[in-house]
């Protein structure tokens, strides 16, 4: 049974009251994330979900640094370095010097890495596609591109006057 929407404002870590819509949004995102995890089942590959997510970012974009990849995934650089090391050990990515700045090390996907992304099980995405097609009406489906745009903006938003934690895409 879905949780009841928040009727009282929640208290934020700084003592301020969070708005009910923000609390409801956080709960809904957590529930959807949990459902996606459940629908994807155990990974039938040697690669963790975190490793596959990082590999997808490398495959879909230009060569990037570990820190840029970590920032785009909202992870600590040390955690991403471990993920990249495992992908490199599995010959899914390579590291090479940036020709424009020899101090930077760039990460690129190998042919094996691109193939791993292509062949990764898509059960989670299949469930979501079916849920969108069969569980939403036309009005809700038409609103999804705007919802995605709003969620991306929220993910990249920073409190005015503070440094944003991560860029929208790896560098």
- Residues with Cβ < 8 Å from 43, sequence gap 6 or more? 49, 52, 121
Looking at the structure, tell me whether residues 140 and 103 fall in a common domain: no
Q: Residues of the chain with pLDDT > 90: what percent?
A: 51
Count of structural domains within the chain: 2
What is the C-alpha separation between 42 and 143, in angstroms, rounded?
Answer: 31
Report if residue 31 sits inside a domain: no
Looking at the structure, tell me whether residues 57 and 114 fall in a common domain: yes
CATH number at residue 107: 1.10.10.10
Report if residue 18 sits inside a domain: no
Residue 149: pLDDT band (50, 70, 90) is very high
Report if residue 114 sits inside a domain: yes
Q: Which domain holds residue 145?
A: 121-155
Mean pLDDT of 33-62: 82
Looking at the structure, tell me whether residues 78 and 126 fall in a common domain: no
Looking at the structure, tell me whether residues 110 and 149 fall in a common domain: no
- pLDDT for 170 equals 46
Q: Residues of the chain with pLDDT > 70: what percent?
A: 77
Residue 164: pLDDT band (50, 70, 90) is low
Report if residue 107 sits inside a domain: yes
Q: Summarize pLDDT for 54-109 with one digit per residue, the tens.
A: 999 999 989 999 999 999 888 999 999 999 999 999 999 999 999 999 899 999 99
Looking at the structure, tell me whether residues 60 and 109 fall in a common domain: yes
Looking at the structure, tell me whether residues 112 and 139 fall in a common domain: no
Indicate whether 6 pLDDT > 50.
Answer: no
Looking at the structure, tell me whether residues 74 and 107 fall in a common domain: yes
With vertex at residue 69, the alpha carbon angle to CA 67 and CA 73, rounded to the nearest 5 degrees, is 115
Residue 110 and residue 93 in contact, taking contact as beta carbons nearer than 8 Å: yes
- pLDDT for 128 equals 87
Report if residue 137 sits inside a domain: yes
pTM above 0.85, yes or no: no
pLDDT higher for 9 or 79? 79
What is the C-alpha separation between 56 and 32, in angstroms, rounded?
Answer: 21
Report if residue 76 sits inside a domain: yes
């Amino acid at each position: 049974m879905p949780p009841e929407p928040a009727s009282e404002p929640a208290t934020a870590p700084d003592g301020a009251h969070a708005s009910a819509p923000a609390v409801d949004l956080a709960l809904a995102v957590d529930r959807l994330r949990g459902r996606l995890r459940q629908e994807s089942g155990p990974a039938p590959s040697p690669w963790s979900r975190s490793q596959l997510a990082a590999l997808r970012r490398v495959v879909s974009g230009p060569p990037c640094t570990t820190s840029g990849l970590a920032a785009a995934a909202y992870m600590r650089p040390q955690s991403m370095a471990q993920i990249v090391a495992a992908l490199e050990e599995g010959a899914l990515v390579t590291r090479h010097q940036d020709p424009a700045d020899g101090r930077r090390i760039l990460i690129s996907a190998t042919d094996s890495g691109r193939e791993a992304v292509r062949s990764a099980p898509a059960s989670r995405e299949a469930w979501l596609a079916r849920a969108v097609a069969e569980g939403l009406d036309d009005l809700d489906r038409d609103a999804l591109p705007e919802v995605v745009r709003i969620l991306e903006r929220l993910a990249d938003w920073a409190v005015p006057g503070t440094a944003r934690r991560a860029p929208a895409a790896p560098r």
